[in-house]
Amino acid sequence: MSNLNDRQQPAPAKRIYAKKSATDRAQERHEGLLEAGLQLFATQGYAQTTIEALCSEAKVTTRHFYQSFQGREALLLAVYNQMVEELQIGLLSAIQAEHQNMQEKIQQVIQALVTHYLTDTRRAQIGVLEVVGASATVEQRRREVIHSIVNYVQVFLNTKKKKKKIPERNYYWLAVAMVGGINEMMAEWLMNRSISLEELVQEMINTVNFMAGNQGN
């Protein structure tokens, strides 16, 4: 009779580890640094935020930081570009929406701005204040973004003009004034918060309606 200890025992179950690939881990670190940049650039300011602080916030090493970004400027641009991309999608969707009169369209565009920029004020803090003069490269990108949004507004106004909804004129400068005015209203609000966000939104709508002359449907 064979010894019980000699009997073949079932092989122990193999532990399966959900190992992440090097690519997945690098992507996680990249996204963590983007979130750290959003948080610290908005709360401490770009000029006061060090790479060491960013690494501590993202829980990565300095070596890992430089595997993702060349420096603070590159991270700021990445954070800004991510925000801008989401904002532009929202604005374009609002502008292209059908069956709205002029006042309804303005309200939708302002609401898109609030949804993508002001609901999380860190975004507006960076996109409106921190990128200004951060560097020549960042400033150039900021101007490109402003001009792209101006172009969206001008195309919308020109479409209304072709449909005889608004008077015949060059709407480029009105688009510049609208975008610049809204940007400055956000900057003022971020610096003093003297009114609620809801009141700011209504002031934006009133301002753009006034600048557009409340003309046409």
pLDDT at 2: 44
Orientation angle between helical segments 51-58 and 22-43, nearest 10 degrees: 120
Give the mean model confidence (pLDDT) for residues 44-67: 96
Q: pLDDT for 9-20, tens place per residue?
A: 555 444 433 577
Q: pLDDT for 103-148, tens place per residue?
A: 888 888 888 888 888 889 999 999 999 999 999 999 999 999 999 9
Dihedral angle sign, alpha carbons of residues 182, 187, 190, 194: negative
* Tokens 């003022």, located at residue: 188
The Cβ-side half-sphere exposure at 76, using a 13 Å CA radius, reads 30
The contacts of residue 78 (CB under 8 Å, 6+ apart) are 34, 37, 69
Domains present along the chain, CATH in parentheses: 22-69 (1.10.10.60), 76-212 (1.10.357.10)
pLDDT at 58 over 80: yes
Cα dihedral value 116, 117, 119, 120, nearest 10: 110
